Amino acid sequence: MNITVQREKLSNAVSHVSKAVSNRTTIPILTGIKIKADDEGLTLTASDSDVSIEV
């Protein structure tokens, strides 16, 4: 699958969801951003186990 994304839109989305990424955790899954691609577009998700943000 090839994806074409406008840099500014991706950057804004990453900036938004990264607010929920935990820097101080021992749980590795909470230190990243999940990116899902489908026919509808991209979905970015991040969580620190208390707050989740999805764009």
Q: Please provide residue 31's backbone torsions phi and psi, each rounded to the nearest 5 degrees.
A: -105, 10
Contact 45, 17 (CB under 8 A): yes
Average pLDDT over residues 35-46: 94
Rounded CA-CA distance 42/51 in Å is 20
pLDDT per residue as tens digits for the range 22-36 = 888 888 888 899 999
- What is the value of pTM for the model shown? 0.82
For the chain, count helices (H), then strands (E). Answer: 1, 3
Q: Residue 1 above 80 pLDDT?
A: no
Q: How far is CA 24 from CA 10, 14, 30, 44, 45, in A?
A: 25, 19, 9, 21, 18
pLDDT of residue 8: 97
Per-residue pLDDT, 24 = 82
